[in-house]
Amino acid sequence: MSTTPRIGDSISRTDGVLKVTGNAPYAAEHFPPGLLYGWIVSSGIAKGRIKSIDDSRARAIAGVVEIITHKNRPHMAFLDGSYGDDVAPPGSPFRPFHDDKIAYSLQPVALVVADTLENARDAAALLDVTYEAEEHNTDFGIALADKYEPKKTRDTFEKPKPRGNAKQAFADSPVQHHATYHSGNHHHNPMEMHGTTVEWNDGKIVVHDKTQGAQNVQAYLSGIFGFSKKDVRVMNPYVGGAFGSGLRPQYQVVLATMAAKLLERSVRVTMTRAQMWSHVHRPEAEQEVSLGADQNGQLQAIINKATTATSKFEDYMEVIVNWGLMNYKCENAEGEYTLASVDTYTPGDMRAPGAATGMNLFEIAVDELAYATNVDPLQLRLLNYSEKDAMHDKPFTSKALREAFAEGAEKFGWSRRTQAPGSMREGTDLIGWGVATGMWDAMFQKTAARATITADGKLEVASATADIGTGTYTVMTQVAGDVLGLPLADITAKLGDSDLPAAPVEGGSWAAASTGAAVELACKSLADELYKYAGKVEGKPLEGAKRDEIAFVDGFIVVRANPFKRVSIKDAVAASGKDKLEVEETAKPGILDMASQLQKSRNTHSAIFVEVKVDEELRIVRVTRVVCAVAAGRIINPKTARSQILGGVVMGIGMALHEETYTDHKLGRFMNHSLAEYHIPVNADIENIEVIFVDEPDAEVTPLGVKGLGEIGIVGTAAAVANAIYHATGTRVRSLPVTVDKLL
Contacts of residue 198, Cβ cutoff 8 Å, sequence gap at least 6: 205, 206, 207, 208, 256, 257, 259, 260, 266, 267, 268
Hey, what's the torsion of the CAs at 383, 385, 391, 397, to 10 degrees? Answer: -170
Integer CA distances (angstroms), 565 to 495, 538, 554, 579, in order:
36, 13, 14, 25
Helix (H, G, I), strand (E, B) or coil at 297: coil
User: Quick one: angle between helices 214-225 and 251-263, nearest 10?
Assistant: 50
Among 66, 314, 363, 711, which one carries the catalytic annotation? 711
- Please tell me the distance from the alpha carbon of residue 565 to that of residue 398, in angstroms, as a whole number: 41
- Please tell me the distance from the alpha carbon of residue 670 to that of residue 342, in angstroms, as a whole number: 13
- Please tell me the distance from the alpha carbon of residue 497 to that of residue 236, in angstroms, as a whole number: 6
Helix (H, G, I), strand (E, B) or coil at 83: helix
Evaluate whether 81 touches 224 at the Cβ level (below 8 Å): no
Helix (H, G, I), strand (E, B) or coil at 602: coil
Contacts of residue 45, Cβ cutoff 8 Å, sequence gap at least 6: 102, 105, 131, 133, 136, 668
- Please tell me the distance from the alpha carbon of residue 435 to that of residue 425, in angstroms, as a whole number: 18
DSSP β-bridge partners for residue 197: 208, 268
DSSP state of 249: P
3-class secondary structure per residue, 151-201: CCCCCCCCCCCCECCHHHHHHHCCEEEEEEEEECEECCCCCCCCEEEEEEE
Task: Count each helix (H run) and each strand (E run) in the chain, helices first.
Answer: 18, 31
Evaluate whether 332 touches 166 at the Cβ level (below 8 Å): yes
Does the annotation mark 660 as catalytic?
A: no
CA 710 to chain centre: 7
- Please tell me the distance from the alpha carbon of residue 701 to that of residue 599, in angstroms, as a whole number: 12
Evaluate whether 386 touches 328 at the Cβ level (below 8 Å): yes
DSSP β-bridge partners for residue 684: none
Evaluate whether 63 touches 36 at the Cβ level (below 8 Å): no
Integer CA distances (angstroms), 415 to 383, 405, 406, 607, in order:
16, 12, 11, 15
Largest CA distance in the chain: 85
Evaluate whether 488 touches 19 at the Cβ level (below 8 Å): no
Integer CA distances (angstroms), 542 to 4, 528, 545, 564, in order:
22, 14, 6, 10
- Angle of CA points 349, 352, 353, to nearest 5°: 40
- Please tell me the distance from the alpha carbon of residue 505 to that of residue 212, in angstroms, as a whole number: 6
Evaluate whether 689 touches 611 at the Cβ level (below 8 Å): no
Residue 110 CB burial class (10 angstroms; 0-12, 13-18, ≥19): buried
Residues with active-site annotation: 711
